[in-house]
Amino acid sequence: MAQSSDAVIKNEIRDQVGTRIGDLTLRVFAEGSREDQNLFDAGGLTFTYDGQNYGSCDAGYVFKKDGVTHAFMAIEGTDCLNRDSGGNAQYQRFHHALGAVRAGIIGVYYLKPGTCPIQPDLYGMAYNASKKEKGTYLICNDLIVVKKILELRSNPNALHTYLDLQMNVMKAIYDAAFKARYKSDMHNFASKRSTVIQDKKVIKYAARRLLNFTDSSQRAGHIAVGEMYLTKYLFPDHVMDYLFLKMTAAERDYLDKNKANDKEWSLLRKEPGVRIVTLDDLQGLDPKAKQALISIKDLSGLKGAPATLYNSIKKLIHTGLESGAITIKD
């Protein structure tokens, strides 16, 4: 029986990095354990910052000082590159290590090498996160890098130099890919990624609806969170409106009341500099177009005429937001 992604990653960390380096020890839990979902201070691998809990990590390296256990590094890992995950599924786990980074810890998102490439946008996200947050965020596909960082902990100057080197490597990968794909133009990126760039604001729109956050069988909540952080950290100097085209203000209020403690919804609603806006928040949209969108918003897997209608309204909204004919309520 094939190992799960979690088991593969945890075994690699144990075998290739080790369970003890200097005064650092590995905190990791057996596959199937739910202990990693406990907060770090309660013995788990979930980090919190400013009252918000983030996703649990797969492993951490910890040390003791004056009898208190502290985290030096948190690692979120995945074998997705060997499991046909070459697209936005890679963004969905970005936030797991982000809580540690925001708390001033080194966060590592380790993607075990496989048949799919790492999305280069991840490198840009992590680079900008490292510039904005207290800690350092690394995208990594080589556990030798992880081990080197741990070994350098006792030499702060050498550690700082090595982390700077890794930052420069990430930025170079991202810049080269962005130049090749988008000609180094954020507006080209925006036009292909359902995004509108304004002066100090970026608007990301998506077909998110109520069911995405109430049906546990769906993964759309994870996708929504991943896309939020993609947009936030690729536009680090902008505030963000995240526009859910298939959600009404009443449905957003329902989620606020009934899903306030749901991890994905909580992350979306509490993220600094990010607003969740709905089709009811659009000003200047033709009422007939709005009513048509409402009539199909609850349909699953749009095909045929409904798909054509949705795409035409989506284009209308994109064009209107760009021109200023359509605005979003303050």
pLDDT in tens, 28-68: 998 888 999 999 999 999 999 999 999 899 999 999 999 99
Q: Are 178 and 120 in contact (CB under 8 A)?
A: yes
Please tell me whether residues 242 and 322 are part of one structural domain. Answer: yes
Vertex 293: Cα angle to 288 and 295 (nearest 5): 95
Mean pLDDT value of segment 80-91: 87
What pairing do the DSSP bridges indicate for beta strands 68-78 and 59-65?
Answer: antiparallel
Please tell me whether residues 246 and 320 are part of one structural domain. Answer: yes
Please tell me whether residues 210 and 280 are part of one structural domain. Answer: yes
Please tell me whether residues 157 and 203 are part of one structural domain. Answer: no
pLDDT at 215 over 90: no
Give which of 155, 167, 242, 253 is closest to 205, Cα–Cα. 242
Domain boundary among 148, 180, 212: 180
Please tell me whether residues 225 and 173 are part of one structural domain. Answer: no
Q: Which CATH number belongs to the domain containing residue 105 in this structure?
A: 3.40.91
Mean pLDDT value of segment 56-84: 95
Please tell me whether residues 162 and 102 are part of one structural domain. Answer: yes
Distance CA 302, CA 127 (A): 36
Domain range for 270 is: 186-328
160: tokens are 């700082």
Number of structural domains (the chain) is: 2
For residue 302, the model assigns a pLDDT of: 84
Please tell me whether residues 124 and 258 are part of one structural domain. Answer: no
Please tell me whether residues 39 and 54 are part of one structural domain. Answer: yes
Domain boundary among 180, 198, 228: 180
Please tell me whether residues 167 and 202 are part of one structural domain. Answer: no
Please tell me whether residues 47 and 174 are part of one structural domain. Answer: yes
Mean pLDDT value of segment 151-168: 98
Please tell me whether residues 141 and 191 are part of one structural domain. Answer: no
For residue 241, the model assigns a pLDDT of: 98
pLDDT band at 218 (very low <50, low <70, confident <90, very high): low
**Residue 140 CA to chain centroid, in angstroms?**
15
Mean pLDDT value of segment 90-108: 96
Domain boundary among 132, 150, 180: 180
Please tell me whether residues 322 and 261 are part of one structural domain. Answer: yes
Distance CA 207, CA 27 (A): 39
b/e 151-190 (16+ beta carbons within 10 angstroms → b): bbbeeeeebeebbeebbebbbebbeebbeeebeeebeebb
For residue 262, the model assigns a pLDDT of: 92
Give which of 324, 321, 242 is closest to 275, Cα–Cα. 242
pLDDT, mean over the chain = 95
pLDDT band at 244 (very low <50, low <70, confident <90, very high): very high
